[in-house]
Amino acid sequence: MTTHSSSDSQLEPFTEPPPAARPSKFKRALRELWKSPLSAKLGMLIVLSYIFVALFAPWLTPYGESEIVGGPFELWGDKYPLGTDNLGRDMLTRLLYGARNTIGIALITTLLAFLIGGMTGILAAILGGWADQLMSRFVDVLMAIPSLIFSLLLLTIFGTSIPVLIIIIAVLDSTRVFRLARAVSLNVVVMDYVEAARLRGEGLGWITLREVLPNIMPPLVAEFGLRFCFVFLTIAALSFLGLGIQPPTADWGSMVRDNATLISYGDITPLLPAGAIALLTIGVNFIVDWFLHKTSGLKDGQ
């Protein structure tokens, strides 16, 4: 009879490689960013620049947001690098503060729209039946009305304060989020692991947050970038029409309206806030396009 030593008969326990041998999540993220295409890097640079300006606007501007520092429509020069507006306020100062106000309000509005539309869309897919039909038909009614016209009507009725503006645009924009969240959730709620969670007796909150939501995040994240652009443009359009962000708060849409007469004299000053709106939209779309390609599973051509 052959005998084996105890060291031979015992299997060596599995040990994970030390943390130093595995790249950290931060390093993996940096590696992915480094391998991203030039358009995505350009988009990230644009977005980060806007975030920097929005956060540090009070320290980057030579004057106060609503401070009248000169005469109306003064020309570009050393004292006023981008001239002054129709009331004599420094255009560079208003442009930088406009980034803080317009982007900040658009971001809060988009987050609220996703909270409302995303949760209700997932719930509609999980519950099904009459609850799904009731929520879906209500959303269909809201989507049948042009959002800009509906926003103008509601703002005329309820006022144009910033909280009212955020709530109205978020509720109207949440309908688009609802449709996407419901569509992608319908493909998940029929999976075996969701049925297993139901058989275990898991509640609605567990199934929503632990089973469905993590599996639909890529399309929702991509949609968040697109929705942010649409909300951003909607706020600028409402401000241009006089029912968005109200003066003296700096806003790019109202800046275009207040200085539009300068275009007749060949002055490009009114185009600066319009260009800022367009550049941010392009930057966000570059990032969204790259993210969609990354999460689709497609490989870049050699």
Phi, psi of 84 (to 5 degrees): -125, 165
Domain ranges of the chain: 40-295
Which of residues 7 and 28 earns the better pLDDT score?
A: 28
Least confident of 5-14, 43-52, 74-83, 222-231: 5-14
pLDDT at 111: 95
pLDDT at 297 over 60: no
| pLDDT at residue number 96 | 92
**Stretch 81-96: mean pLDDT:** 90
Residue 300 or residue 150, greater confidence: 150
In terms of Cα–Cα distance, which of 52, 95, 109 is closest to 277?
Answer: 95
Q: What is the DSSP string of 214-263?
A: GGSHHHHHHHHHHHHHHHHHHHHHHHHTTSSSPTTS--HHHHHHHTGGGG
Residue 209, Cβ neighbours under 10 Å: how many? 12
Nearest alpha-carbon partner for 250 in 96, 73, 63, 98: 98
CA distance 189 to 293: 25
Average pLDDT estimate for 125-152: 90
The residue with greater pLDDT, 266 or 252, is: 252
C-beta separation of 46 from 283 below 8 A = yes
Q: Higher-confidence residue: 120 or 242?
A: 120
**Of all residues in the chain, what percent carry a pLDDT higher than 90?**
34
Assigned superfamily of 40-295: MetI-like (1.10.3720.10)
The 3-state DSSP class for residue 297 equals coil
Q: pLDDT tens-digit profile of 14-46?
A: 455 555 555 566 677 677 777 788 888 999 999
pLDDT at 16: 52
Residues 63-78, mean pLDDT to the nearest whole number:
88
> What SS3 string covers 69-108?
CCCCCCCCCCCCCCCECCCCEEHHHHHHHHHHHHHHHHHH
pLDDT range class, residue 302, cuts 50, 70, 90? very low
pLDDT value, residue 1: 45
pLDDT tens digit sequence for 150-161: 999 999 999 888
63, burial (CB in 10 Å: exposed 0-12, middle 13-18, buried 19+): middle
Mean pLDDT score, 70-99: 89
**H or E element, residue 39:** helix 38-55
Using pLDDT thresholds of 50, 70 and 90, give the confidence band for residue 299: low
Q: What is the pLDDT of residue 178?
A: 95
Burial class (CB in 10 A: 0-12, 13-18, 19+), 108: middle
Mean pLDDT of the chain: 85
**Cβ atoms of 174 and 120 closer than 8 Å:** yes
- pTM value? 0.82
Mean pLDDT of 216-225: 88
Lowest mean pLDDT across 158-162, 234-238, 240-244, 290-294: 290-294
